[in-house]
């Protein structure tokens, strides 16, 4: 019995190492591994499940590519997703008002409407910006490194409005 209890944390710690890498993420990150995963809830309502995929070097904010995959649990318009993203950036104090207005316009043009089960994946491309995928198909690139930093800060900045999810994504909750 004691041996089983000892092995349980090891088992859960290794699960990320053996998670199947979605093909579009494997294309962008050939040696991808799951850093962590969690669920974002708003007043108890599940909004999306998130996974952070990293290369062999792990998460390095702007120095290495990584992918953040969100599997939505409800329908939202792309416009609402874009507006919420800009509101989160503003709350974190990222970008100027002009930059956020420009970013909002780019996200409105990029983000599709989603429904329960839709995956939206953002891939951080250091020195280039972000490439977005919907259900594994590339939908757009936003070629702005400051935008990329601000966008991913919503989940990965130490001041993230969802600190428990951030810890899970970065594998810090084990």
Q: What is the CATH number of the domain that holds 130?
A: 3.50.70.10
pLDDT at residue 73 is higher than 80 = yes
Residue matched to tokens 């993420």:
25
- Residue 104 tokens, joined: 């909002």
| DSSP of the chain | -HHHHHHHHHHHHHGGGGPPPPHHHHHHSTT-EEEEEEEEEETTEEEEEEEEEE-TT---TTTS-EEEEEEESS-B-HHHHHHHHHHHHHHTT-S-HHHHHHHHHHHHHHPPPB-TT-EEEEEEETTTEEEEEETTEEEEEE--HHHHHHHHHHHHSTT-S-HHHHHHHTT---
In this prediction, residue 63 carries a pLDDT of 85
Helix pair 97-110, 78-91: axis angle to 10 deg: 160
Q: What is the pLDDT of residues 108-125, one digit of tens each?
A: 999 999 999 999 999 999
* Residue 81 located in a structural domain: yes
Count how many domains the chain has: 1
In this prediction, residue 103 carries a pLDDT of 99
**pLDDT level of residue 15 (50, 70, 90 thresholds):** very low
- Give backbone dihedrals phi and psi of 142, rounded to 5 degrees, phi first: -115, 110
What is the rounded average pLDDT for all residues in the chain? 91
Residue 124: which domain range? 2-169
Q: Give the least confident one: 59-63, 65-69, 89-93, 164-168.
A: 59-63
Average pLDDT for residues 12-34, to the nearest whole number? 79
pLDDT at residue 100 is higher than 50 = yes
Chain centre to alpha carbon of residue 66: 9
* Residue 93 located in a structural domain: yes
* Residue 10 located in a structural domain: yes
* Residue 135 located in a structural domain: yes
pLDDT at residue 18 is higher than 80 = no
Q: Give the least confident one: 62-66, 82-86, 150-154, 160-164.
A: 62-66
pLDDT at residue 12 is higher than 70 = no
Q: Give the least confident one: 17-26, 64-73, 90-99, 157-166.
A: 17-26
* Residue 103 located in a structural domain: yes
Beta bridge partners of 53: 34, 67
Kindly give, in sequence order, each residue whose CB lies less than 8 Å from that of residue 4, ignoring residues fewer than 6 positions away: none
pLDDT at residue 9 is higher than 90 = no
**Of 3 and 115, the one with more pLDDT:** 115
pLDDT at residue 13 is higher than 50 = no
* Residue 174 located in a structural domain: no
């Amino acid at each position: 019995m004691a041996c089983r209890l000892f092995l349980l944390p090891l088992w859960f710690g290794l699960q990320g190492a053996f998670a199947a890498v979605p093909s579009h993420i494997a294309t962008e990150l050939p040696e991808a591994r799951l850093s962590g995963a969690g669920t974002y809830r708003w007043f108890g309502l599940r909004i999306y499940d998130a996974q952070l995929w990293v290369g062999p070097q792990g998460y390095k904010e702007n120095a290495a590519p990584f992918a953040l995959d969100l599997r939505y649990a409800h329908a939202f318009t792309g416009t609402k997703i874009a507006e919420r993203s800009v509101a989160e950036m503003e709350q974190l104090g990222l970008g100027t008002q002009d930059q956020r207005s420009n970013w909002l316009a780019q996200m409105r043009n990029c983000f599709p409407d989603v429904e329960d089960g839709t995956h939206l994946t953002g891939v951080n491309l250091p020195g280039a910006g972000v490439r977005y995928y919907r259900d594994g198909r590339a939908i757009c690139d936003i070629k702005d490194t400051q935008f990329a930093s601000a966008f991913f800060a919503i989940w990965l900045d130490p001041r993230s409005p969802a600190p428990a999810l951030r810890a899970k994504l970065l594998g810090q909750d084990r």
